[in-house]
Structures are given as C-alpha cells and as structure tokens.
Structure 1
Amino acid sequence: MTTSSTTLPAVHRRFVETASGAIHIATAGAGFPLLLLHQTPRSWDEFRDVIPLLAQKFKVIAMDTIGFGDSCRLPMAEHSIERWARVSFELLDALGIQHAAVAGHHTGAVTALEMAASQPQRISALVLSSCPLNDAARRAAHAGRRTIDEVERATDGKHLTELWSRRQPYYPAGNIELMERYIVDAVKAGDMASHGHHVVSHYVMEERLPLLASPTLLIQATDDPHASPYAPKLAAAIPGSKLVAIKGGMVPLPDQLPQEFSDVVAAFLMDQNL
C-alpha cells in the first residue's frame, strides 16, 4: 500500500449540519465509506497521516466527536457513548451514507463498538484499535479515580506542563510533535478532556458485546499499557474476530505509526471485499 506522498489523495475539511449540531470532518478519497473515530481528547488530527493512506482505497471520513476538536458542544450531562454513536449515525445520514465501515481508536473504538451493536445492519466492518474492555470490574476500578487528562487550570499555565508530563510516558521518547498535537487538542477540549474518559468508564460494554454481528478486527498496540491487556479478552468475547498486534505501538498508535496502522486496516477491509 506504500505510495509516493505526491500521489496521495488530498484531505478536505468542512462542517456538516446534523440533528445535534455542526460536526467537523476531514475527508479524502473515493470508494466504500470508512468512518474514523478518535480517542479522548484528540480530534480528526489523530488520523491526519492515516487519512491519505487509507483514501487510496476508501472514502475516508474522520470526524471530531461532538464536544471535541471543532465540532459543536453538548451540555455535560448529555454525553454518553450511546449519544456519541447516535451523533455518528446522524453524520452518516447527513452525508447520505447508509452503510459504512467504522474504525475507532481508544475512546473511538468504544463508540464504534456501540455503533455496531445498536445498528449492525449499517456497519459493514468494525475495527477496534486499543479498545478497553469496560466491564463491571473495570467500571469499579475506575470509579471516582482521577483521569489522566484531569488537571486544575492555573493562571501561570502550569496545568499545560502537567498535562504534558502525565501523558509523556505513554508517547514515544523525544517525539515533541506528537505531544504538541495532543496538547492542542486537550486545550481545545477543555473540561471534555477529562470528562470523555468518564463517559467511557460508565459504558456497560458487556451487555453490548453479544450484539456485535459485523466482521471485526482488533488492533493491539503492544506498548500501550492502558489497552493492550484487554485485546485477547475482547477477541475471545467477539466470535469470529481477528486480532492483529502492532509491535511498538503506544497510546498514539494512528499518528505514531500511520503506515503500519493503515496497512492493517486496509488489508482487513479488503478481505471483506469492501
């Protein structure tokens, strides 16, 4: 799938009006639709280098989850994985897309899972990258805990360095650009940077897993301690699913290793004849 960068499809950005408000998207390519969903507190930018690679085969749509990036906001109490999944379908409806593949990373994987559980007839293939297994045990373990992106704003800006220091151990050493891209999205998200993690921790995933019917790929980033341990358990819980490990992958897998990520996703989707 490797191609000279001069021939890669161009990425276009715009806003799409949905029943919930304006959703910001980045799109490229033509072919079968592939919706990309980012982790908390990122934006479409998490897939900035992935989009043109996958757009060689597919019509790629990377959305800013409602409340993140440049998409519209909701009252805090209205956020849930189920609502995020509904908004994602609202976006597909506004684009005139009835059937799509969906690939999500971390939080985005949980939203993608709910999309496939709630409307399986519309999800032709499902890719869960670094997806947590948010069962009763995990919900209990995370109840009341401070999230990784939860910092108190300070007038001297020290909360920015705190955000940096809390995330840095899970990012490639010395990669300042990836950390800066994270910081930009975290600052833009504001309180949602922390709240997005609480949204995931309240999702009752074990009741939704039996509803999955779409062909499913699980991507395991081997050096992501927050998600990697769950991958074999999720694979066992989703009959017929395929598990692929990306060696050296960390929390920012799509923007850390875009070629490897894109190759794995594209190969799986092409195996489904999409």
Structure 2
Amino acid sequence: MTDSMTITRHFIDVRNPDGSARRVHYRRAGQGRPLLLVHQSPRSSAEYEPLIEKWAPHFTCIAPDTPGFGESDPLPHAAPDVKDYAEAVFAFLDAIGLPQVAAYGFHSGAIILITAAKHAPQRFSTIAAGGYAMWTDEERRAFAANYTPPYVFMPYGEHLTWTWSRIREQSWFFPWYAASDANRLPFPHDDALKNHAMVMDVMAAGPSYALGYAAVLQAPRDLPEAGQPTPPVLITGYDGDPLTAHIDRIERLPQGWATAKHKLPEEAEAAALSWLQTHAGDGQPLPRAPDDEGYSLNQLHWLGDRASGHVHLHAPGSAAEFAHEPGQLTLDLPGHGLSVPEAKNPDEALAILSEALSTLLTATPSRITGDGASSVLAARLSAAYGLAPEPIIPGPHAHIPNLVPDSYGSHLTRAFAWARAEAAFSGRPSPETVRAIPKGALDPARLHRRTLALLRSRGANTLTDALGRP
C-alpha cells in the first residue's frame, strides 16, 4: 500500500475528437487542491518526480505524459499542432473528472497550457509557467528546417548515437544544432545520468519526438487579447535559461498576468509555488486513482487479464511486452519494464510479486510460468499457491553487458548490440549458440523497444546469477 505522498503511476483512457480511445499514463501524489503539471518536450512526467515530491504537501499533483511521450499513446494525427496538444489536456481533465484545475508547465508545457487557457480559460484557476517562448518568424523557419528531423529507427542502432549527441549538446548550445561560440549556453555540463534520463524519454517517444517538439516550436504568440477572459498567469525565468530573454519580447501583459526573472532555478520554482498557492481555486472534486490495467497497488506493472488463471514472468533483462500472450496475466519483474519497486535478490523479488498478485488476481491461479531464470521464481510462486511447478523453460543465457551510462553514450551501443545478438543466438555468439531467428526479431522498431527494455532493467544480472541459469 502507498500513502498520499508516494508517487504512484496509472493509465486511463481518454477520448480523441474523432471518438477513438487513447491511453494516457500519469503520475500522482499529494494532498489538497489538484495541480496539473505538464512537462516539456521531449521529456515525460518522470522529469517532474523531484518537483512532485516537493509540492505534494501543498497540492495533489497530477502529471500526465503528453501524447506520444513517456507511455502515453500518440494523437491520431499525422501532423498535430499545438492546439491538438491543448485539446489533449482537456480530454485528460475530462477523463479524470476535473472541470477546473490550477496548472504548472515548463517550456513546452507552458506553451501547451497557455494555448489551452486562451481557448478555454474556465478550465484553469491559474497557471504558473516556467519560461514561455515568443518565437520570431525567422526562428520558427529555422526550427522547422533544423530542430526536429524525423526520428528513424536504424537496424544497427545508429539513431541512438545521434540521440546521445543531440541531448548532450543541448546543454552546450541553443539551438542545439547551431554549435558555435555565439550560441553557447552559460552552464554546460557533461552529466551522464542527466543526459541518460533525457535520452530514455526520447527513446520512449520514438517518432513522436519530432511531432510533439515541432508543434510547440511552431506555436504562435497565443496570448489573450485585451478584454478576453483569462486565468491569472505567472511567467518566470532564471539566469541561464534561454527562454528568460523571451520575457522581454512580451509587449503587453494580459490583465492579471505577471512576469519575474530570477538568478537561480530554485528561486523561480519557489515563486511559481507561491503564485499557485495564492491563486489556485478552492478546489474541485479530486479524482480517485483508478485500479485500471497497468499497475498493482504496490506499483508493479502488468498486462493482460486479472481473471486469467495463467500468470507469466518474463526473463531477467526483458519486459512483459515481449513475453505477453493472450490469456495470460504477465508481470514486469521488479526493477524491469515499467515496474516501480526494485529487488536486490530473489527473496525480495518473490515478496514483491506475491504482494502484487494478492491484490491483482480475481481468480485462483492454475499455472505460473516463467522464461529463463524466471522459471525458478515461477516455481517458488507455484509452491506458495499449492501448484505443481512448471517445467523449467530455457531462456537467454548471455550475460548483459555493463550498461552504466557514460559521458559518450557507449552504453547505448552496447545495449543495442546485445539486443541484436539476442535475436540470433541463445548465448554469446558462437556455432553452439546459433538459433532460428524469430519472425520480426530484427525489425529496427522492435530492436529499439528491446534496447529500451534492457536499459530499464535494474539488477538483471544479479537476479539471474542468484537464480541460476536454466
């Protein structure tokens, strides 16, 4: 079980304008009045976890992944614009039952929120914006030509080398593609972990990366005209943020709006919190965190049917999406896929899995199976339910390489090369480990997702070594 200060993750279905359904992934934590947080491109709501932890004592923070980013489905448009992303905000608010909300957005998130507020001001009690872009026509033309090339999956992982370089140099130059002394940013860094977090979000977005980014980069100056209804809005900036200079481009502030420049990001964040606390409404009915398909109460991710009698575990280093078949309830192992809890050893993994099943299952299990080393976990779970253990299923034996992020992104190359070799061999490539290549296993899009799952795996080698290699 979790308390209100613990960040939990959820999925919910929303309605597109054409009536089709779209899944949205979101994070939630806190107490009190609801606060919507909209992240920047090309990130996901994961970037707000530190902020949610700070603001959860003051608000019920609700942070969705915008369409096509994180784990949210993309919009059903070939070339969505910023208004489509604004409409997606309304669809999400409708789905979780919030007619009005206070909101915070950073960079792209601010652009989406202010666009949304212009078209439906009654949906917001107030907005705090961490930066707001007032692009010139010349900038929009340059961005259209250079900023968001199509994101194409390549068969040997070449696109991951580009992704790492793209994100690494984003902290050195703005725009990222204009590497020159004139475009240097004041606080360059070479923090591998910070870059890796952004790269993982780009990888999760895939082709949506270019669509969502392009939409906000081509957004017009969409401020309310004099006399138009508007919620109160604060736009902040801080030294080193390239959008701080855009505050001076605002020729006329709408009534009830304010701007503020600060030296430090923490000062801008504190100002935003103070604004939201002052201007947020008295509150709307808070949506209940639904027990929908996606997460158990202890935040283990699952796919399939809770009433199924067949529970299945993927191999360490993989994810449920690669092991799920119809008629199964398939779990992401602790420290794998989208599961939040981690396990240091098989006993911890077994305890987490047992806790998840105790709240998930709506029928008594009749089979518990596992791939590779997870067959051992499955046998121990079977014993706990009084079931005969299933036969041990041989699985991938190759030891996963060191995937600790480094400054040059070579861990991405290692991960993709491992995923490609896995498709053709049952262990370290040799004549003895050759196996038939499953249909579609070398498709670049599948290899990309397999690499992402591998990079998300935490403690896979430790778990495999402790369980033994069937």
Shorter-chain TM-score category?
0.7 to 0.9
1:209 has 2:209 as partner:
no
Of 8-17 and 183-192, the range deviating more from structure 2:
8-17
Q: Name the residue aligned to 2:352.
A: none
Superposed, 1:57-206 pairs within 5 Å as 57-77=58-78, 79-134=80-135, 136-143=137-144, 145-147=145-147, 153-171=153-171, 173-206=189-222
Q: Which residue identity is paired with 2:6?
A: A
Contact 1:126 1:214 in 2 (8 A): yes
Of 259-268 and 216-225, the range deviating more from structure 2:
259-268
Per-residue CA shift, 1:140-161, capped at 9, x if unaligned? Answer: 4434x21167565444434323
TM-score (structure 1 length as normaliser): 0.83
C-alpha deviation, 1:217, in angstroms: 0.9
C-alpha deviation, 1:233, in angstroms: 2.2
Of 133-142 and 58-67, the range deviating more from structure 2:
133-142
TM-score (structure 2 length as normaliser): 0.50
Q: Which ranges in structure 2 are unaligned for 5 or more consecutive residues?
A: 17-21, 172-187, 282-470
Q: Which residue identity is paired with 2:29?
A: A
C-alpha deviation, 1:185, in angstroms: 0.5
Counterpart-to-counterpart distance in 1, 2:31 and 2:42: 28
C-alpha deviation, 1:194, in angstroms: 1.9
Give the structure with the higher percent helix.
1
Q: Name the residue aligned to 2:15.
A: 19
Contact 1:103 1:128 in 2 (8 A): yes
Contact 2:34 2:62 in 1 (8 A): yes
Q: Name the residue aligned to 1:247.
A: 263
Counterpart-to-counterpart distance in 1, 2:63 and 2:84: 18
Q: Highest relative contact order (Cα 8 Å, sep 6+), 1 or 2?
A: 1
Q: Name the residue aligned to 1:34.
A: 35
Structure 1 residues 224 and 160, CA gap change in structure 2 (3 angstroms): farther
User: Identity across aligned pairs (percent)?
Assistant: 27
Aligned to 1:24, the other structure's residue is in SS state strand
1:9 has 2:26 as partner:
no
RMSD: 2.5
C-alpha deviation, 1:33, in angstroms: 1.4
Per-residue CA shift, 1:15-49, capped at 9, x if unaligned? Answer: 11111311111011122211111111111011011
Counterpart-to-counterpart distance in 2, 1:30 and 1:167: 35
Q: Which ranges in structure 1 are unaligned for 5 or more consecutive residues?
A: 1-6, 250-258
**Runs of 4 or more above 6 Å deviation:** none
